[in-house]
Amino acid sequence: MSRLIRLDRTGHTELASWTAEDADSQRAAIEAFRRELDEGMLASATLPDGSAEVVRVLPLDADLVVMRRPIAGG
Amino acid sequence: MHEAVLAEAAAMPWRRRASKKSLGREGRIWTLWSIGIAVTFGVPAALLAWIQPLALPVSAIFLGHGIAVLHLQAQRGARGVKPMAAPNSPAERTALGLLGDLVGHESRELLTDTGLAPQRGRLGAWLVGEEGAILVRPGGHRVHCFCVRVGEGADLPPGDRVAHLLLALREDEQGFATVSNRNFSGATWRLRMELPKRCRPALSAARSSAARRSAG
């Protein structure tokens, strides 16, 4: 089960979850992903080696995709 | 393999991208600056004490002033990182849970004990706090302190603020260093003196990791 989550004031919110076999859940996840991007969020897909990658298209093979806000120098 | 570029760094084309070389240069500038302070205050203090031993208290005050400036530099770096406090609301616990998953099992205890999230990178060993990060360079002798935060993150629980920075760091380490503002660079022991006691084990662990990397 892959998950799309957003970091927010509640800690985090799960926006969607999907499996490779369930096309409907994938479509819903892609829509949720696009909505978040439109609102200015950035998407970060966690890779198996522990690094992360900025993504503009929902990687359906990722286990976890996190929507985050932009950072800035303090 | 293409080099990932942090979106926030790409939006700042006027900033030169941070690299091993640029960090080395910045480190040398900080060292020269610190030597300059030590000389500016230390030499007149020594001269005064030599010319007139009775003026020793005055020269001690003068020397103390120089030492205080050096402390303030490192203190600025230590304060900028802002370690997480223990969670005291459901949202804070939820955020810390996710952050624990992100850092992994072996680093979770260090995270909860010290409030800083460790992350190994190509530039060295990082420690990420709520509003900044510490980079221990390979070898473990020098640190760089960065001031960086979530752009509009006042409503976020502390764990989420750290998670934001950690993800950005993982996406593009050099970009993360490019976006961040510099607070301090100097010897690791100088920063250690100014860090809260609970954070020091994280710095020791990062230093060991950086030292191993240098040896490896």
Contacts of B184 (CB under 8 A, 6+ apart): B30, B73, B74, B76, B77, B78, B80, B143, B144, B145, B191
Query: pLDDT per residue over A44-68, tens digit each?
Result: 998 877 788 999 999 999 999 999 9
Confidence of residue B63 (pLDDT cuts 50, 70, 90): very high
d(CA B98, CA B80): 23
* Mutant choice from A9, A47, A54 vs B, greatest count of B C-beta within 10 A: A54
CB contact under 8 A, B148 and A51: no
Read off the pLDDT of each residue in B68-72 and give the average, rounded to a whole number.
96
Reduced to 3 states, what is the DSSP secondary structure of residue A11? coil
Q: Model pTM?
A: 0.92
Angle CA(B8)–CA(B11)–CA(B12) in degrees, nearest 5? 100
Q: What pLDDT is attached to residue A46?
A: 86
d(CA B59, CA B22): 37
Q: How far is A50 from chain B (nearest CA, A)?
A: 8
Residues of B in contact with A66 (CB under 8 A): 163, 167
Q: How far is B150 from chain A (nearest CA, A)?
A: 4
Q: Minimal Cα distance from A48: which residue of B?
A: B102
ipTM: 0.93
**DSSP secondary structure string, B38-102?**
HHHHHHHHHHHHHH-GGGHHHHHHHHHHHHHHHHHHHHHHHHHH-PPPPP-SHHHHHHHHHHHHH
Confidence of residue B106 (pLDDT cuts 50, 70, 90): confident
- Greatest alpha-carbon span in chain A: 44
d(CA B76, CA B182): 10
Residues of B in contact with A40 (CB under 8 A): none
Give CA separation, B208 vs A29, B138, B211, in Å: 42, 9, 5
**DSSP secondary structure string, B64-82?**
HHHHHHHHHHHHHHHHHH-
B7: nearest CB among A9, A42, A52: A42
Residues of A in contact with B7 (CB under 8 A): 42, 54, 70
Least confident of B2-16, B18-32, B93-107: B2-16
